[in-house]
Structure 1
């Protein structure tokens, strides 16, 4: 299988984030996201848990009204239903993320096998 370096050949982004699907199955999606400089996203309220890690650069998130600063190497688990928004990203290097979206466990229906 070929390897891929996640910090080379980054797209030049203006205005909107560039998202690349790295892997997926019916329970999870792994994305690489490159944010434009000084990016501010729309608010998010997702039905799935999301784990994010900053690979390079820096970002500030608003997580349920609390500002959180992330630098390269930092990660954060955002539980489903938690309002969040990217409020700022670095210029150089561009903020580059890994984002893992995880389907929430389904409640046990009580039905046996």
Structure 2
């Protein structure tokens, strides 16, 4: 970008980790109260149940997945996004292996 003198720059699809299982989390930006991260999921996600202090907005950029939010199962395909309010129990049930799932997650810390 000609004349650009901003902060960090990168590519969401570049430098993807090769995973046999689980997920890889990479912070892209931290500016209180917001944290933006890239998540790459293998075809065998861990069944971790998350109950987070902050709100989370996620967008599935590539692949297919299924989440459990409370008792509801939510299928997602590339381009789908979802807002998960703080303290909403959720987990990844299924992810595609090819192509791997790539997520963009925005975490919003609660106000003080």
Which TM-score tier does this pair reach, normalised by the shorter chain?
Answer: 0.7 to 0.9
Q: Structure 1 stretches of 5 or more lacking a match?
A: 107-113
C-alpha separation in 1, matches of 2:14 and 2:43: 17
Residues 68-100 of structure 1 deviation map (CA, whole Å, 9 limit, x = unaligned): 011110000000011100000001000010011
Match of 1:64 in 2: 70
Return the TM-score normalized by structure 1. Answer: 0.87
Distance 1:58 1:93 in 2: 8
**Once superposed, which parts of structure 1, at least 4 consecutive aligned residues long, lie more than 4 Å away?**
none
Count of matched residue pairs: 106
TM-score of the superposition, structure 2-length normalised? 0.87
**Aligned counterparts, 1:78-93, within 5 A:** 78-93=84-99
Displacement of 1:4: 1.8
Q: Which has the larger radius of gyration?
A: 1
Whole-Å separation in 1 of the counterparts to 2:15 and 2:22:
18
1:53 maps to what in 2?
Answer: 59
Q: Say what the alpha-carbon RMSD is for the aligned residues.
A: 1.4
1:5, CA displacement in angstroms? 1.7
- Larger mean CA deviation between 6-15 and 76-85 belongs to 6-15
Structure 2 unaligned spans of 5+ = 1-5
Shift of 1:15: 2.2
Choose which of 37, 42, 51 in structure 1 pairs with 2:43. Answer: 37
